[in-house]
Structure formats: structure tokens, C-alpha cells
Amino acid sequence: MESQIHAIHQQLMKKEITCTKLIQRRLDLLKPNTHNTVNALLDEMALDLASKVDAKIENGETIGLLEGIPFGIKDVFMVQGTYTTASSDLLKKYKSPYTATAIQKLLNAGAIPLVKENCDSFGHGSSSENTIFGAVKNAVNTDLVAGGSSGGSAVNVAKNYTVFSIGGDTGGSVRQPAGYNKIFGLKPTYGRISRFGLMAYASSTDCVGPIAKSIEDIRIVLNVMSGKDVKDLTTYESKEISEENILNTNEIKTVGYFKNFIQNKAINPKIKADFLASIEKIKASGIEVIALDFFESETLVSTYYTLAMAETASNLSRLDGTNYGNRIEGKNLKDTYSITRSENFSEETKRRIVGGNQVLSQGFSDEIYLKGLNLRDQISESFEKDFKEVAIILSPVTPNTAPKIGDSLKDPLAMYLSDAFTVGFSLGQLPTLTIPQGTETGIQITGAKNNDELVLKFANFLKDII
């Protein structure tokens, strides 16, 4: 699929459609909420912005590439004056007092937000069933989950309800639902896009990520959101990625994949066979492919969940009904905290808070948390070594296809293991992209830190190869 952003931009400029009509049509598609993707429609704001774009076009002014382009926002991003619920009871009535940097940059470029999108509560999940707004339904088959945690965002893009959506990816939440719904989803290098105004899940791996139907649209949105932000000191200045650069695809000579991912007995045989067939096609195109050694996926999943739970327990401690959240009064202050949190957090979120506090507590933290940190360092070193040998690492996005709605809730451990192929790259803070090709749930293309351009370039190359 070619760039929708360019196509709509042309239509607006040539006055083939008014911005108001464009926005109204998309709002009409979102309103019935057929796939449970909508937490809140931003209809008033969107139509108001659209009329301003129309006035500019009427005046003969030129408009920017993103001006008037409708997009969606996962409901964990602050947008001033809108509800930001994190799909939770606790924040059901919470209104953002400010706007996230990444979203503000899109607003400054003229893009029009339509919807706050359903997701797993606080990003906790891989299926978008851990939500008070009802399980998000897969865009291709409504009996299946949408994937998570940015499930609503992926489905809205896949169904053409939004042109692009902005998700958050801590351990796979953009890439995995992109794979389950057959579209593109990028987790950029950690720090490339500011996290300011994205509700914190696990701060050391939280990333803002675009979801779209073409590599070109991912590139455009990524460029707009990137850059240093004084409000997030982990951000860095990055070079803009040009269209020409990512179209010139013949510089990649060597790629790798992890042998043990493919040999793992938990992988679906068809995903394995399709992935290996893609590898053969890549080899046939003249690229050298190296089978690499890596940590067992069970180790990656345990390391990720140890650290993610510790960080989320700490980050969510501020949600006690005092400054934020739906306060429920108890007999005394302690009781109030306890009832507010017990009644308003979901089972999955409570599991993570309890687990996180356990791994951080005296007597356990050396054994578990520090060990997790140590493993994470080893994982990063292993990536550094690999990227001396190969330019790109390829892997399936998921070991299995999307489960039926209801199944993941019955077996949280199986759900955690479904993140086996995405969490390692998060721990390494690497740029990694899901493309809807190669296997039923896509292929993940990963580059070295700050090599986001190379990732997009290789995605363009693979378009014609597999």
C-alpha cells in the first residue's frame, strides 16, 4: 500500500474533498465502535480543526503534508482537556491537564486527532482484553484478539478508521498488534521520541511508536515526533530520515536471525516454515544470512517481566486517589488508599504491582531485581556483538497466531510467553519494525541503536523480495 498521507494531502490541495468531509466520514466510521476501539471520540475538537484547514485551503494558502490528516491516539497519552483513562476504572474520569510532547508535535504539524483508543490498562497486556471498555476485536477476524497493548490503535489503522495511530511500546505493544492486524508498527530507538505525557509503564523501555499502512507514512510521522525534549532527559537529537535515503536499499549485505527463536518448541510450525522460506528468498537475493546465538526466549521473558513489573509497581504508586484517580473513602487514610487501589485496578495490573513490589523488596531484590538488571546488560552486550557482524536482525513478531478472545485471560503465563520475540529488542532499546509480510503475524526488522533509517530501508527492500 502506498502512502495514504501523500494521497489525502493531494486530494485536499486539489479540493477533491474538504477536510470537514474527510474528518466527518472517519468519525462516522468510528462512532458505531464495531471493534471496541473507541474510548472517547474527539469529534468537536476534530471538526473545529478541520474547518480551520478548509479555511486555509479556501484562502489559497498552502498546507503542510500532515495538515488535516486524521489520526488516533492510544488512551495513555495526555491530550489537554480530554479524558485519559489508560482503559482503567482508576482514571475513568481523569482529564489531561497538558498535552504529550509527541502528540503536540503532530498537532503543531496540523494532524487532526479523532479518537482516544482502547488498549490494555496501563499497557499491561498482549491482547487488549485487560480494559474496562470491552475486548478489542481483531480487524481481520473478530473472534480473535487485536493484540496488545495498543490493540485499538492497530485495529483503527487496519480498518481505515484512522490514517495512522500513535501507540506506546514497552515490550511489544506496537509491533505485536501491528502483526496481528497485518499492518506496520515501529518501536523507534529508545529516546528518539519524548515520553513526556505518555503514562509511564516501565520507564526504561517505554517508547512512542507510529502504526500505519505504509513505510512512507511511518517515516513521515516518525520524523515529526522525533527530537530532543527538555521534559524527557533520555531524548536525543536525531537526523531527519529522508524518503530518498530509505528508497536506496542496496547497501545492506549481511543480516542475521536468532537460531533459538526458530528452534523453540513453542513456535507455530507454519510461522517457522514461512519465516525460513523468507530467509531463503533473502539469501537468493544475494544477501548473506547468518544464524546467530541468543538468550533463550524464556530468559528474555523473565528478565523483561521482572524489570517491567518492578518499574510499573513504582510508577503506579502515585495512583492512590489523592492527586489522581477515582478515590474511594475508607475508615482512615491507609484504608482509603487500599480500597481505592484494590477496587480500581484490574486483576492483571494488581498482579504486576504485587510482583513488582516483591522483586524490589528487601531480601529479594538482590536475588531477583539485580539479577534482572545484570541479565539486561548481558543482553545489550550480545546485541552490540551481533551488530558488528550483521546490519539487521530479523525475527518473527510472535511465536503463534492471534488467540481467541477469552483465552489469554485464562492463562496469564501463556500470554507473557507470547511476547518472547519482542521483549528482547525492548530491553536492548533498539529500533524495530513489524512489517505485514513473511509470516501470518509479520516479520520484525531490528537495527542497532539509532539506526532507525536502516530499519525502514530494509523494510523497503523486503517489499519486493518476500
Cite the active site residues.
Answer: 74, 149, 173
Binding mask 308-347 for ligand GLN (x = CB under 6 A): x---------------------------------------
Q: For residue 344, with 0-12 CB atoms within 10 Å meaning exposed, 13-18 middle and 19 or more buried, which class applies?
A: buried
Strands 164-169 and 207-212: antiparallel
Backbone phi and psi for residue 334, each to the nearest 5 degrees, phi listed first: -60, -45
Give me the least distance between CB of 348 and ligand GLN, in Å please: 8
Give me the least distance between CB of 407 and ligand GLN, in Å please: 15
Counting contacts by CB under 6 A, is residue 201 touching ligand GLN?
Answer: yes
Tell me which residues in 137-196 interact with ligand GLN (CB under 6 A): 149, 168-173
Q: Which of 135, 129, 101, 92 is nearest to 319 (CA)?
A: 92
Give me the least distance between CB of 374 and ligand GLN, in Å please: 20
* Site residue total, ligand GLN (CB under 6 A): 14
Binding mask 123-142 for ligand GLN (x = CB under 6 A): xxxx----------------
Q: Mark residue 86 as left, alpha or beta (left: phi above 0; alpha: psi -120 to 50; beta: remaining).
A: left
Strands 288-292 and 207-212: unpaired
Give me the least distance between CB of 351 and ligand GLN, in Å please: 11
Q: What residues contact residue 69 under an 8 Å CB cut-off, 6+ apart?
A: 5, 8, 9, 110, 111, 112, 163, 164
- For residues 153 and 177, the answer to whether their CB atoms sit within 8 Å is yes
Counting contacts by CB under 6 A, is residue 383 touching ligand GLN?
Answer: no
Tell me which residues in 35-94 interact with ligand GLN (CB under 6 A): none
CA separation for the pair 8, 256 (Å, rounded): 37
In the bound state with ligand GLN, the residue whose beta carbon lies nearer, of 169 and 217, is 169
Residue nearest to ligand GLN (CB): 173
Counting contacts by CB under 6 A, is residue 421 touching ligand GLN?
Answer: no
Q: What residues contact residue 341 under an 8 Å CB cut-off, 6+ apart?
A: 90, 319, 320, 321, 350, 353
**Which span sits near ligand GLN by CB under 6 A: 30-38, 121-129, 236-244, 382-390?**
121-129
- For residues 294 and 424, the answer to whether their CB atoms sit within 8 Å is yes
Residues that bind ligand GLN (CB under 6 A): 123-126, 149, 168-173, 201, 308, 419
